[in-house]
Structure 1
Amino acid sequence: MKVLVDADACPVKEIIVEIATKNNVEVYMVTDASHILFYPETNVHVVTVDQGADSADLAIANRTEKGDICVTADYGLATLILGKKATAIHPNGFFYTAENIERMLFERHLSREMRRQKKGKSGHIHKRTKEDDMTFLSVFEKAFTSK
């Protein structure tokens, strides 16, 4: 088992490194060339890919194997991860499942259509809280204990 992280805008990288290191699990932080990451932990590897719309997603999908854990906010990537029988977790602290991914993809499609037709409201992203981090921590730790 390894952990793969869609690291470009991931707000929980430090939590991931802490828990994975405690569990002696390899972590692959995948980022495009516009970001610079460095981790002194020997179990954390930074994978830098070309800039491009799906470069990091494809690199993660290609490296994922059955039993791995992937952290991503991208629903499309989560779908690919689930198809490989790996665990997909959103940084906000919930598991992607076969039961919820189709609904999320459909809602994303509807939102895009509304924006395209200029009928949608602009999305307000709330500021991340300590409670958000604790929710993620709980779900991430559960992913290790359920393996």
Structure 2
Amino acid sequence: MRVIVDGDSCPSRDVIEKAAKELSIEMDIFCDLNHHITSDYSNVIYMDSGFQSVDMAIFNHVKREDVVVTGDFGVASMVIGKKAYAVSPKGYVFTEKNIDTLLFERHISQKVRRAGGKTKGPKKRLEEDDIRLYNSITSIIKGFIK
């Protein structure tokens, strides 16, 4: 089991790294060349800045039972298909039961924006999001979430 982070879309790498370090779990952070990420604990893996390059690298890297932290529903869906865990940067666990609804809502929002409409952006990040993220990751690693 490893923790894999979509570094292009994850604001709380320090919280994730804290959980991985405490439980002695390997952690890989994937990002494109436009980001500068450093870590004393994690492996930082840089990809070209092409369209979906980080997403595809994560998909190719992930194995069954890995924990992937991503804000991208598409990446989460692919990860779930490989029998790995997907967690949002706010700590919500993506599952086979909720991912289809999330992908559908994303599709509808894209249609509204293409037609010139406006949709709400993400809510402001709160301290409780970091707590939920930490708890979700540690619960998965300890086997509390199956």
Report the TM-score when normalising by structure 1.
0.93
Q: Please, what is the CA RMSD of the aligned residues? A: 1.2
Report the CA distance between 1:92 and its aligned residue.
Answer: 1.1
Report the CA distance between 1:145 and its aligned residue.
Answer: 1.4
The residue that corresponds to 2:44 in the other structure is 46
The residue that corresponds to 1:11 in the other structure is 11
List gaps (5 residues or longer) in structure 1: none
The residue that corresponds to 1:79 in the other structure is 77
Query: Which of 65, 80, 88 matches 1:90?
Result: 88
The residue that corresponds to 1:35 in the other structure is 35
Query: Is 1:55 the equivalent of 2:37?
Result: no
Aligned to 1:30, the other structure's residue is in SS state strand
Q: Sequence identity of aligned pairs in percent? A: 35
Q: How many residues in Structure 1 have an aligned counterpart in Structure 2?
A: 144
What is the rounded CA distance, in whole Å, between the counterparts of 1:16 and 1:38 in structure 2?
A: 14
Report the CA distance between 1:26 and its aligned residue.
Answer: 0.7
The residue that corresponds to 1:69 in the other structure is 67
Report the TM-score when normalising by structure 2.
0.93
What is the rounded CA distance, in whole Å, between the counterparts of 1:3 and 1:140 in structure 2?
A: 9
Report the CA distance between 1:72 and its aligned residue.
Answer: 0.3
What is the rounded CA distance, in whole Å, between the counterparts of 1:125 and 1:75 in structure 2?
A: 14
List gaps (5 residues or longer) in structure 2: none
What is the rounded CA distance, in whole Å, between the counterparts of 1:124 and 1:83 in structure 2?
A: 27
Report the CA distance between 1:126 and its aligned residue.
Answer: 2.6
Aligned to 2:132, the other structure's residue is in SS state helix
